[in-house]
Amino acid sequence: MKNYDLIIVGAGPGGSIAAKTAAENGLKTIFFERGRKPGEKNSSGCGLGPRMFRDFPELMKNLTPEKCPSMRAGVAARNYFVNDNDIVAGYIMARPTESVTYEPAKSWITMNVYRSEFDPWIAEFATNAGAELKNSTLIVDLLKEDGNVCGVIDEKGEKYNAPIVIGADGVISTVAQKSGLRNRWAQHQVTITSQYDFQAVPEKINNIMGDEALAVWWGSNFPASYQVFFNDGFHQGLGNWMNWWDKNPLYYLNRVINLKYYQRLLKILEAKPRELQAHLLPWLDYPYNTHTNGVILIGDAGGFPCPLEAEGIYPAMVTGKIAAEVAAEAILSGDVSRVALKKYDNEWQKTSVGEEFESGRELWNIWKALPFSPKETMSWFVPMIMEILGGIFDWSQPHAKRIRQIVSHVKSYMPKATPFIMGYVFPLVAKIFEEDLDKIMDPKKIMKILPKLLDLLPEKKKRRSDKVK
């Protein structure tokens, strides 16, 4: 039996930050990794957002290409809209807009890096702070005394003792299961994601993609598929909730790969498939059962990926840091009960992660109903958006007639669009603008503007050509 103050199961970014924080707080800390080194079991290929650099500046300023050769920052994102016939009907390339307030976020949107490089890099901060990292070790159960968790046991039967165990062990969390916090996720709480890594020469990527960091392929024949560019390669992946699939995930991913447009892109990038990856990803509207007596769950194990886009690394690091701080306080006070650890919830709820989940249900609902419901929603959304964006590029009609055709066609989508707007857009708007809604909807203000708008309407139809006569 080995004794510690704190045990962390998992050495991903969340586990490592927890271990670093705990060691810095003077706790005798051990963290476990089932791979031979952190990151080699992970395939979420991360885009690190500016929030990471804002909230963990001391750490992130050390991230360099020498440490993580795969890193590649970009400032633009591309959205491809793919129609029913698997044709790219149009795309939007977007850069940070004028309303962006955080200064660094104006010059880049994500820093992309492979987990096989990022995770060991971040774990080193924890070991440098004094935490002990045990690789190639699978934790299989929790140790309990009088029903209370007091440590862990590995597959070789080795026992490790500590008053608190942090579960940083990902989507299928042994700590969550053995502590009774959760057995298995429900089908609508977790997604399966499959992805290819393609190899390409850095110069080619830069010449062709410029400063684009990522792309999303929106289609009606597959769930939204993301493309993330690294220094010498890129990921193409897609996922959906477990209960969605009628065919194999690779069937849908291959459908993206086999788009004519995509094949052309592969050709000019001279890209070759290099690795196939798959993983589960919890994707919830709100985390629950995050702690119990002597146990705290962080990151994926706690269900913390962003409710809108399932970004997982940042929430894992935020919750990992807080969990270690709360654990340190609880261990010092001698009270590691569920009631004492409730502080964990109070603290993460105050962070940017907590604020994200405040409108989590509405964000989660709309996202699930839009890019992840290709047949139901994207089948009308793509042609509608392209009608608006691209409809004017037609030289076979007078422009005014063309605009009438476009408006009339957009109107034809309304039987499908209206229930969507009522069901998903309005609830989201209402939630986001909760406090301002009364002001916006003030009937007096509306009545003040309305007569002016009515003045703009012509009294009766007049043809300008009549004047010439």
Give the residues lining the site for other proteins (CB under 8 A): 34-36, 39-45, 70, 114-116, 135-138, 140, 154-155, 171-172, 184-185, 187, 190, 192, 194, 196-197, 230, 233, 242, 245-250, 254, 257-258, 263, 266, 273-280
What is 108-160 written as a DSSP string?
A: -SEEEE-HHHHHHHHHHHHHHTTPEEE-S--EEEEEEETTEEEEEEETT--EE
249 vs 307 by CB, closer to other proteins = 249
280 vs 432 by CB, closer to other proteins = 280
Per-residue CA distances from 456 to 268, 404, 447 (Å):
51, 19, 15
Least distance CB 338 / other proteins (angstroms): 27
Per-residue burial over 214-229, b = 16 or more CB atoms within 10 Å of its CB, e = otherwise: bbbbbbbbbbbbbbbb
Alpha helix (H) ranges present in 186-312? 202-209, 249-257, 260-269, 299-302
282 vs 294 by CB, closer to other proteins = 282
Residue position matching structure tokens 């963990």: 56
E strand spans, 164-305: 164-167, 190-199, 212-219, 225-229, 233-241, 272-282, 291-292, 295-297
189 vs 349 by CB, closer to other proteins = 189
Least distance CB 179 / other proteins (angstroms): 17
Least distance CB 217 / other proteins (angstroms): 16
8 sits in which H/E element: strand 6-9
200 vs 215 by CB, closer to other proteins = 200
Least distance CB 36 / other proteins (angstroms): 5
Least distance CB 279 / other proteins (angstroms): 5
Per-residue CA distances from 387 to 84, 409, 414 (Å):
14, 8, 13
Least distance CB 192 / other proteins (angstroms): 5
418 sits in which H/E element: helix 414-420
243 vs 465 by CB, closer to other proteins = 243
